[in-house]
Structure 1
C-alpha cells in the first residue's frame, strides 16, 4: 500500500494567474496542466463557454513538494474557506475504497467514489471537522 497526501487548491477562475504567480514567486514547475475544454467532450459539455478555458487540473512541483490546482469542481462551488483540500492518492482502488468508506462514516459525501476519465476511483468527502478530502486511485 502506498499513500500520498497532496494540497489541492481551488481557484475561482484565476488558476492560470495563480500558476504563473507560483512559478515566479516560488519557482514552481508545471508538471501537468489541462483546461476544461481540453478534457473529454462529455465533461466539457457540462460547462458554460467562458469556463472552457478554466484549469480543470494542474500539478505543480515546488521544491520537493507537489501541489494540485484547479478552477472548478462543479460539486463543490467556490467559496472562501474551501479553497484548499487534501488529495489522498492511493496506489490501488481497493485502498481508495477503504479510505473513502472510513471517511464517509462520519463525513459528508460530496461526490461518490466512482471511475472517472482521470482515475479508476475518485470521490470527495468532507470530514466531521470541515476538511475536504479528495480520494484518488492511481491505478486499478
Structure 2
C-alpha cells in the first residue's frame, strides 16, 4: 500500500495571503485557490461577505510536495501554527539560506542556521503566520 502525506495549514482569514507568501518564499506554484464564495449558494446556510472571501481550499505545489490551505469560519477556535511543523530539505546550502531568510521576514528565529551533527546547515524559524519550519540540508 502507498500512502502520500502533505501538510494542511489552517488560518483565521488570511490563508490567501499565506499561500502567496509561501509561493514566493519557497519558489512554489499555486495550483488553485477556491473560496467559500465560489461554491453554490445554500439558502439554509447563507454566507457573510467576509466568509465568501475566505479560502475553502488552496493547493500550492513546492517541488514534489503539496501544501494545502484553508481558512476557518469566523468565530471558530483557532490556535496558530504550533501543532504543525514543516521540514524543508534543500540540497544546496545557498537555497537553504534564501528560504530561511524569506521565512524569518516578520517571523522569529528559533534556532539560527548552523552546522549540526546531522546536517551541514540546519535551523528552525517560526514565520509571521506562526508556522514553524525546520530547514535542513541533507548530508551528501
Q: Distance in 2 between matches of 1:55 and 1:44?
A: 20
In 2, the alpha carbon distance for the partners of 1:34 and 1:49 equals 15
Secondary structure of the corresponding residue to residue 52 of structure 1: helix
Q: 1:44 Cα shift?
A: 9.4
User: Is the CA contact (8 Å cut-off) linking 2:51 and 2:73 kept in structure 1?
Assistant: no
Larger RCO (alpha carbons 8 Å, 6+ apart):
1
Q: What SS is found at the alignment partner of 2:13?
A: coil
Q: How many residues align?
A: 85
Q: Which residue of 1 aligns with 2:17?
A: 17
Q: Is the 8 A contact 2:31 2:60 kept in 1?
A: yes
- Rg comparison, structure with higher value: 2
Unaligned runs of 5+ in 2: 86-140
Following superposition, the deviation at residue 58 of structure 1 comes to 0.5
Q: CA deviation at 1:29?
A: 0.6
What is the rounded CA distance, in whole Å, between the counterparts of 2:58 and 2:21 in structure 1? 14
Provide the alpha-carbon RMSD of the alignment: 3.0
Give the gaps of 5 or more residues in structure 1: 86-140
Q: Secondary structure at the match of 1:18?
A: helix
Deviations 1:4-34 (A, max 9, x none): 2111000111111111111111111111210
If the length of structure 2 is used for normalisation, what is the TM-score? 0.50
After superposition, residues 119-134 of structure 1 pair within 5 angstroms as none
Q: Give the Å deviation of 1:72.
A: 1.6
What secondary structure is seen at the aligned counterpart in 2 of 1:42? coil
